[in-house]
A and B are shown apart, each in its own frame.
Chain A
Amino acid sequence: MKTETKSRIVVFFLSLLVWILITMVFSIPSLIAGVIMALITAIFAGEMLIITERKFHLKRVWYTIEYLVKFIWELFKANFNVAYIVIHPLLPIKPGIVKVKTKLKRDSALTMLANSITLTPGTLTVDIDVDNQILYVHWIDVKFTDIEQTTEFIGGRFEKLLEEIFE
C-alpha cells in the first residue's frame, strides 16, 4: 500500500475517534456527520501525518512514553524556576542568547526539540539554522557560553530520546 493512502486511512480513523470523543452522542445522524467530517479531513489534510516508510517498533512507543514523562517533569521544574525568579525581590537573571548544536535532521524532530527546549527551565528557542544544525537559545540564567557545554546541558536531555523516536 502506498504511504499516502495509509496516512489518509489513519487520519480518517483518528478524526472519527476525536469526533466521537468530543460529541459523546451515539446516534446515527451524529455518526454520519462525523464520518463526513472525517472524510473531508482525510481528503484535504490526510497525506501529512505519515511521510516515511518505517516499521512500527514497540521500542519507539516505550521511548515516547519515557520522553513524555521526562517532558512533564521538566515543565513542572520550569514553572517553579519561573515562580522563584518572579517572586525574588532582586530578579536574579543573567540573560543571553547562546548556540546549541544538534544532530537531528528531520523537521518533525527539530520542531519537537525546539518546543521541548522552550518549555524546559530557563530556555527559549529563538531561531533554527537548519543547514548548520544550530539552535539559537535565549537562556535566562547563562551558566556557560561554550557551544559544547551548552549542547550537553540544554539539548542533551531530550536529543537522544528524540533521535530514537523520530530518526
Chain B
Amino acid sequence: MPDLAINQIIGYVIICIGVIFDLFGVLGLVRLPDVYNRLQAATKSVTFGSAGILFGVFVYSGFTSMGFKAILCAIFILLTSPVSAHAIAKAAHSAGIKLTDKTVIDLYQEDKELQK
C-alpha cells in the first residue's frame, strides 16, 4: 500500500463512485427502449458520474492548477449536458422518431397536430 494523504484516499473514493454511476448510465443506454428514455439515463447518470469523477480529481489534487481545471470542467458539464439533451430530444421528435410502445401519453404530438 503506497503512502496516500487522506484527501487522496477520499478523492479516489469519489472517483470510484463517479465511475459506478457512469456504468449505470451506460447500462441505461443499452437497456432502455427509445431515444427519449435513453437520453434520461445518459443525461442524469453520465452528468453526475462525470462531474463526480472531476470533483474527485479536485479533492485528490487540492487547490492546484489541475484541481481548478477539474472544477471548471465539472461546472461546464453540469450547464451544457442538459441543453444538449433538449436539443437531441427536440430534434428526434421533429424528425418523427416514434416513442416506445409502452408510452402512455404524448401531449407534445397532440399540440403539434392542433397547430397545423
Contacts and interface: CB of A to CB of B under 8 A. Distances in A.
B110 to A, nearest CB: 9
Contacts of A111: 83
A33 B13 CA distance: 37
Contacts of A99: 107-108, 111
A79 B90 contact: no
Interface in A102-141: 111, 114-115, 118-119, 122-127, 129, 136, 138, 140
Given A22-B65, A98-B107, A115-B79, A127 B93 contact: yes
Query: Chain A: interface residue count, which band?
Result: 35 or more
Interface in B1-31: 21, 24-25, 27-28, 31
A159 B41 CA distance: 24
Interface of B: 21, 24-25, 27-28, 31-34, 36-37, 39-41, 43-45, 47-48, 64-65, 68-69, 72, 78-79, 82-83, 85-86, 89-90, 93, 99-100, 102-109, 111
Interface of A: 18, 21-25, 75-76, 78-79, 81-83, 85-87, 91, 93-99, 111, 114-115, 118-119, 122-127, 129, 136, 138, 140, 142, 145
Which 3 A-B pairs give the minimum distances between C-beta atoms?
Answer: A118-B82, A96-B105, A24-B65
